[in-house]
Chain A
């Protein structure tokens, strides 16, 4: 089945701990994105990567880090420097050469992070 797999679906973290969210895709898409969604808020872009071994900061990158060592994988680490990490995190990909502006984004099912 082609798609995007995010894990874990639910995650609890104590303050001060780093946590890594997984995003794996088998769509053979070049571009991958991480968005954060808070209640009553739109999706906000954290990081994105258009090609392996390269990534760029989005609008709210502070307190987060990513890597893109393989085309299929784009993990997001929420570090202890992120002041308000409790949120719903969404990974997305697009296969269009123009990036997200040229065609649809495919989203995973999301990971809900709660800081205790």
Chain B
């Protein structure tokens, strides 16, 4: 079955550095990937959507890439700040079809001052 996987280990970085989070998918070829941010005890908030023909997308300090050969999306936060500390989720078309999303387990990012 199709899988979407993220590194379960937390990523610890220093303020000002670039954080890079990874999302890998197997057994399918998604037409798009989405990235969300989730703070503890809150609902996820949408950040970016990237389609398979876009390769790279940017929004302020955020950058997402989509490599269909490696079956991987990378999510970058440049000039990271402690306020960027959160769990980041990637998502793509769900097992129930195009109209639903399947989420990875998320990667926690901790940015130290």
Contacts and interface: CB of A to CB of B under 8 A. Distances in A.
Partners in one complex: yes
Interface of B: 4, 8, 31-32, 34, 36, 41-46, 49, 89, 91, 93-106
B34 A104 contact: yes
Interface stretch (A14-22, A76-84, A106-114): A106-114
Given A40-B105, A110-B41, A105 B96 contact: no
The 8 closest A-B pairs by CB, nearest first: A99-B99, A107-B43, A104-B46, A43-B103, A42-B103, A42-B105, A101-B98, A100-B101
A59 interface: yes
B30 to A, nearest CB: 9
Interface residues of B, dominant DSSP: strand
A52 to B, nearest CB: 15
Given A59-B94, A101-B101, 14 more contacts: A31-B99, A41-B105, A42-B106, A43-B91, A43-B103, A58-B96, A92-B43, A100-B101, A105-B34, A106-B46, A107-B45, A109-B42, A110-B41, A110-B42
Interface of A: 4, 31, 33, 35, 40-45, 48, 50, 56-59, 88, 90, 92, 98-101, 103-110, 112
Contacts of A40: 8, 105
B43 A101 contact: no
Contacts of A50: 99
